[in-house]
Structure 1
Amino acid sequence: MQTNNKLKTNHQLSIITVNLNNKEGLSKTLASIANQSCQDFEYIVIDGSSTDGSVALMQNTSFIDRWISEKDTGVYDAMNKGIALATGSYLLFLNSGDQLFDHTVIENAMPKLTGEAIIYGNLKQVWTDTYRIHYFPEKLTFGHFLNQTIGHLSTFIRSDLFEKYGLYETEYKIVADWAFFTKVIVKENVSVKYIPDVVGTFDMNGMSSDPVNFEQINRERRQFLRKHFGRFLDDYEQHEHTLQILKRIQSSKGFRWLKALGVKKFQ
């Protein structure tokens, strides 16, 4: 492990970056970190033994507090290594290629880290030739997590959650961050706070956004849901299926015609 001599005065927040042979993406992430108006955080980089010049880039970056470069079993194994090294009360995962939305993100976020277990904001999603701001719901439900998630790079996670509920489950190669959020928010009902800020900029051309991986994503999600929710998932899905049937009936021409005739059963 490499440690720089620069010491932070406040470890309220640790930002963790994982990287593997993505020097170009790492350069963008480092530039985003360096550009922050508030530098009062701990910064850690976990590299998977890159051979593309990433190590030299880390060696020549003075504001990295700790970094390692060694083999790992995947992105979530690397993120778990970052958790083990971090000293902050809150953790933010800004992986190689990710960027903070603008230079004031950390300055604006610090006063809002007020003790809740999960504090999440919004994302700028970037494709090759376009982008959009993705706004997450203020209320997170089981239904939301069945099909969606919250952004790992726009979510501040209180570090003691990993001690209490476990690290990222590396059996899931693509959705372990979704699995962690679903477990602690839905199953364990930890405290959650939404902040309306745009926190991160996410490259939508990455692993979890690749259509080739959709089948594996769905398979891993089903595996997790069966493991942690069992028969309750069956009950919920049956309820949702019934609601969808009712909605289709209500929107049908026959339903509207009977209602227009004043048939009370359909009022």
Structure 2
Amino acid sequence: MDGGSDDNTFQIVKDLQNSGFKQIKWFQNSDLGVYDAMNRGLREAKGKWIYFLGSDDWLYENHTLESVSVALSNTHFNVAYGDVLIHGDSDWAKDQEIYAGEFDVFRMLKKNICHQSIFYKREFLNFHHIQFDLSYPINSDWDFNLKCCAKTKFIYLNKIIANFSSGGLSTNSKFKDSFFEEIPIKYKQLFPSKFRVFAWNLKNKILNI
């Protein structure tokens, strides 16, 4: 999904397609930001699993998708995730840190699973109409993961999936949105049986928000 790049992205894609990689699809349209582009990608996708990789990030190894494919073929879970290797410091991770291990629901209220490490079953997303909320220009991926978590269990793959480059919107503290302010309202609806514990965490500032 290309929002109007002025580099040689199109030529790279055409060269790959001409070399036999016909399964690569390229769409160029103006959009309302990265999450709007990702929603459009969800609508265009045809495969069994969904994975998002930003233009400044790259897979950890040449055979990463092959090894992940084996793991996904043997699971009944709808969401699977691993880790990323961080390149560059950010507010939430340091250079060369492996981020961030296994999560449960409560840990996900403190920090997000890195989007470059997570795979979603397309059928599951479509059935529950889960999309990125454009009202969160920075944290819509976090909100997306919590909405998934409210509907299904995740499985941890215990492997590094991608190299993550700091410096994007999510690692720039100058940009803010209303995500944190709306947690008490939104997640009371998503996780009613657990919200008393969430509320206690919020009250005691364990979540650092």
Q: After the TM superposition, which residues 1-267 of structure 1 pair with which residues of structure 2 at under 5 Å, given as runs?
A: 46-62=1-17, 63=21, 65-113=24-72, 114-127=75-88, 130-137=95-102, 139-141=103-105, 143-165=106-128, 166-185=130-149, 187-188=150-151, 190-213=152-175, 216-217=176-177, 219-223=178-182, 225-229=184-188, 235-240=196-201
Q: How many residues align?
A: 193
Deviations 1:46-99 (A, max 9, x none): 100223333333333323621111101111111111111211111111111111
Structure 1: where are the runs of 5+ without partners?
Answer: 1-45, 246-267
State the superposition RMSD in angstroms: 2.7
**TM-score (ref. length: structure 2):** 0.81
d(CA) in 1 for partners of 2:172, 2:98: 19
Q: CA contact under 8 A between 2:87 and 2:165: conserved in structure 1? A: yes
d(CA) in 2 for partners of 1:55, 1:240: 48
d(CA) in 2 for partners of 1:92, 1:123: 14
Kindly state the Cα deviation for residue 235 of structure 1 after the two structures are TM-superposed. 3.6
Structure 2: where are the runs of 5+ without partners?
Answer: none
Higher RCO, Cα 8 Å, sep 6+: 2
Q: What letter matches 1:117 in structure 2?
A: N
Cα distance change on mapping 1:225 and 1:54 into 2, 3 Å: farther
Give percent identity, aligned residues only.
23
The structure where helix makes up a greater share of residues is 1
Q: CA contact under 8 A between 2:184 and 2:199: conserved in structure 1? A: no
Q: What letter matches 2:14 in structure 1?
A: Q
Cα distance change on mapping 1:105 and 1:236 into 2, 3 Å: same
Q: What letter matches 2:159 in structure 1?
A: D
Largest Rg, 1 or 2: 1
The structure where strand makes up a greater share of residues is 1
Q: CA contact under 8 A between 1:122 and 1:133: conserved in structure 2? A: yes
